[in-house]
Structure 1
Amino acid sequence: MFILPEKIKIIEVGPRDGLQNESRHVQEDDKLAFIEALQNAGISEMELTSFVSPKWVPQMADAPTIVKKAKHIGRQFVLAPNAKGAELALEAGAQSIAVFVGVSNTFNQKNINRTTQESLEALDPVISTLKDKGIFVRACISTAFYCPYEGKMDPDAVVALCKRFVAMGADELSVADTIGRANPQESYELFKKLKEEIPGILLTAHFHDTRKMALANTFAALQAGIDRFDTSAGGLGGCPFAPGATGNVATEDVVNMLDTLGIETGVDVKKVCEAVALIAPHVSRPIETGMYRLFVNGQL
């Protein structure tokens, strides 16, 4: 018989992962209002933005301003793919920085023009410098289950990559089903293996809902002992370098599931939906998550 965690930490990724692939430009003030509303809902860890080239991800061009103007509540991450991004993030005042590498070589090459090994070698001195400055480092493991180009990933390769990041000084691992193809058995088995082989590290599950299995995968990860989850209000999201990947699992739906299981999150579902209502007019696709539909219909 499995024992579920009593308390779960929700890490909101909507302002960055949720909006990065949005085709309609979202204004800075609308992003800040979205962030503040999520904080008011009880979110104490959030991925705010990313310091990437505006040429490739124009939605994130306002990153320095977002970091400077957002209310500082809890731990706030920014994504920095390389040394230049990390330098700009620090200049803006970021205190927690996320880096990323895909298990898949092909995904890495299409994303950042480097193999997995080359990516690690480039990030090693970056992480070392960040740790010397007292910065919290989150390592995002992309394509941990499947790659849009290479197919199914070897779980041993995922574990090996995670161990490399731990050895480099990462404080947290966010392990992602980037294209939303994993099933609950795969979710349970990989996270159980990671918990066993890398004890003591903050371990976070990150699911996309491409095949509508993200909630099931979340529950499977809970069974494996995971107590940290990346979620995106409104189910916003997608990856410019992962064809076919849709949004992240919706914050409001995950929190509702956890509430019904009696698991504490500290997050108010209705207030998350109020935050979604603020951003909904500014994104290009309708938001149709389960709890948000109930909210819009006055049933929440």
Structure 2
Amino acid sequence: MSRVRAKPLHGDKTVTQPRRAVVREVGLRDGLQSISTVLPTARKKEWIRDAHAAGQREIEVGSFVPARLLPQLADTAELVAYAKTLPGLVVSVLVPNLRGAESAIDAQADVMLVPLSASHAHSLANLRRTPDEVVAEVAKMRALRDAAGSKTLIEGGVGTAFGCTLQGEVAAVEVLRCMQALLDAGADRVSLADTVGYANPAAVLRLFEQARAIAGERLCCGHFHDTRGLALANVYAALQTGVDRFDATLAGIGGCPHAPGASGNAASEDLAFLLEDMGIATGIDLHRLLALRHKVAAWLQGEVLHGTLWRAGLPKTFAPTA
């Protein structure tokens, strides 16, 4: 994507800012898996359809995990099939293991995201595997994908990149080692996630600069939780390093089972507004996205929702970026 000059956050270093950015909606997976409500498949399809109509072009529709573990996501294959009928939509799924990758390839998902926690303790608690065992699994996924002649991209998502509620500090050198290992194992691209909301803008700038130096354009996405209200500030910091794709959940739903009280990612509507108001085009119609938020909020009555734009509304000075 083309870039424009932006003022540096520190020192005299010249930085660039994307002209366009992608808000990847992950509420149907990261959001729904973390709440008690089991949304009917018809409602999920309506969500996908309305998000697409609002201009969102990348949606993570679910995860290929056993239904007994996450009944909220048992309809992922059906949702992939439906989402694939919408023009120009990049359909992502999360896969925790080789069996999940097989399902993603069979469903012809465009992207399968493989989570790896740089925190050893969190990795064992969340996936029952060490980080290096996850890397070995990615190598098997790559071999499977290539043998099948599939075009599904493999994205390795390095989580707990800024700290962990179980382990505490996670060294940047370990985060970068895991990221490089994923690329060496055959991941097409990688992303960094502040799984438990420990990041701050200065830390994001440092780590993303280091990661970009190693992975270049293959560092494709930032995933920030808003646990302490810093998700959008952290997005801004990552933007300065040239990253132009960010995960978000409508109404900020979701969280992490190992971060009690943690809210979900940045709210999709708030993030889209931030980007558009800064002159970074997203292709999203905010009026339509806010209407969808209102609808989803009605479906999820009793669940904790987040975000601020829905309450304040768009300012009179707001003009979408062309």
The alignment's TM-score, normalised by the length of structure 2, stands at 0.87
Alignment of 1:1-300 (within 5 A): 1-2=7-8, 3-70=16-83, 71-72=85-86, 73-132=88-147, 133=149, 134-283=151-300, 284-295=302-313
Instruction: Letter of the 1:254 partner, please give it.
Output: L
Moved more, 156-165 or 67-76: 67-76
Seq. identity, %? 34
Q: TM (normalized to structure 1)?
A: 0.93
Distance 1:95 1:259 in 2: 26
Question: Using the alignment, how far apart are the partners of 2:59 and 2:93 within structure 1?
Answer: 9
Judged with a 3 Å threshold, the aligned counterparts in structure 2 of structure 1 residues 203 and 96 are, in CA distance, closer, same or farther, namely closer
Structure 1 contact 17–237 (Cα < 8 Å) conserved: yes
Q: Is the 1:105–1:116 Cα contact (8 Å) retained in structure 2? A: yes
Check conservation: 1:234, 1:273, Cα contact below 8 A: no
80-89 or 203-212: bigger deviation: 80-89
Range moving further from structure 2, 96-105 or 283-292: 283-292
- Judge which range, 200-209 or 85-94, deviates more: 85-94
CA RMSD of aligned residues (A): 2.0
The total of aligned residue pairs comes to: 299
Q: Secondary structure, in 3 states, of the residue corresponding to 2:140?
A: helix
Q: Which runs of 5+ in 2 are unaligned?
A: 1-6, 9-15
Higher RCO, 1 or 2 (CA under 8 Å, sep at least 6)? 1
Structure 1 letter corresponding to 2:169: K
1:240 deviates by 3.1
Report deviation, 1:136: 1.0
Q: Structure 1 residues 108, 34: closer, same or farther in 2, change over 3 A? A: same
Q: For structure 1, which runs of at least 5 residues remain unmatched after alignment?
A: none
Q: Structure 2: how far apart are the matches of 1:144 and 1:32?
A: 32
1:177 touches 1:206 (CA, 8 Å); kept in 2?
yes
Offset of residue 236 of structure 1: 1.4
Once the two structures are superposed, what CA deviation does each residue of 1:227-265 show, in whole Å capped at 9, x if it has no partner?
111111111121234444321101111111111211111
Q: Deviations over 1:170-206 (max 9, x none)?
A: 2221210001111111111111111112223142110
Q: For the Cα contact (< 8 Å) 2:81–2:107, is it kept in 1?
A: yes
Given that 1:231 and 1:248 are in contact with CA atoms closer than 8 Å, whether structure 2 keeps it comes out as: yes
Structure 1 contact 21–57 (Cα < 8 Å) conserved = no
The 8 Å contact of residues 211 and 219 in structure 2, kept in 1 or not, is answered as no
Distance 1:143 1:78 in 2: 20
